[in-house]
Amino acid sequence: MQHTLDNKVVFITGSSQRVGAATARLLHERGWRVIIHYRHSELAAHALVDTLNQVRPTSAAALHADLDAVHLFSQLAEQAYAIFGRIDALVNNASTFYATPIAEANIQQWDDLFSSNARAPFFLSQALRPYLQQQDGCIVNIVDIHAERPFRDYSIYCMAKAALQMMTYALAKELAPFIRVNGVAPGAILWPAADTVSAINESQQQEILSSVPLARSGSPSDIARTVAFLLDDAPYITGQIIAVDGGRRHTLGKE
């Protein structure tokens, strides 16, 4: 379904690939202008922007930033606003994910996981607040079902996502009535790349899928459509976390 928007602009962190890119494509298809944030994936980000601009000229832009650089959030917000002259929505999608068994976990991992999954979304929301408020805007945080039900050996990641979930609830109250704040909590959507530190082996994948009532993994488009719903079709929804997990959240700990 095509939506006609008044040139609305969404800023999506970590959106050059995977779930973030799928969300950018769908929102662009629905008429949004999109700002594709990236950290390392410069080629993928610019390729996506070029593809979207071929469909609709001057409707997409790439913006590089290291979200660990806490002193740059105000500057990043100003840069994002300057691209199209408005910001209507922020999707806090960028995330770091890997195991931290208690016997091996260290301070650097704690800082890394909390930085991407909690600190950056909070301070970017803070920095973009004036622009979002001008447009009665919306923030969508990509949380995780494991913010409520822990994933073995991933304690720091789960704790960071739990902080992001509570941030969703807290900012929904604090930023009302001008800015809505919601979250999407994915389950088994897209496995980490096999050659990365966050890789999950085939045995772990099968164990996870065995606990999914729908007996299959989801797809990035499942998350993208839920984000689009919260942005486009849910003007009276705020302070909510929608689980997109095939029912798995309700089976965790009950296998």
Residues carrying an active site annotation: 157
Cis peptide before 177 (omega within 30 of 0): yes
Rounded Cα distance, 65 and 14, in Å: 10
Rounded Cα distance, 220 and 12, in Å: 14
CB 80 within 8 A of CB 87: yes
Neighbours of 55 (CB within 10 A): 11
Joined together, the tokens standing for residue 125 give 């929301």
Token pair 């008044």 is found at 6
Rounded Cα distance, 115 and 71, in Å: 13
Neighbours of 150 (CB within 10 A): 16
Nearest to 14 by CA among 37, 35, 34: 37
Neighbours of 59 (CB within 10 A): 18
Residues, the chain, total? 255
CB 28 within 8 A of CB 52: yes
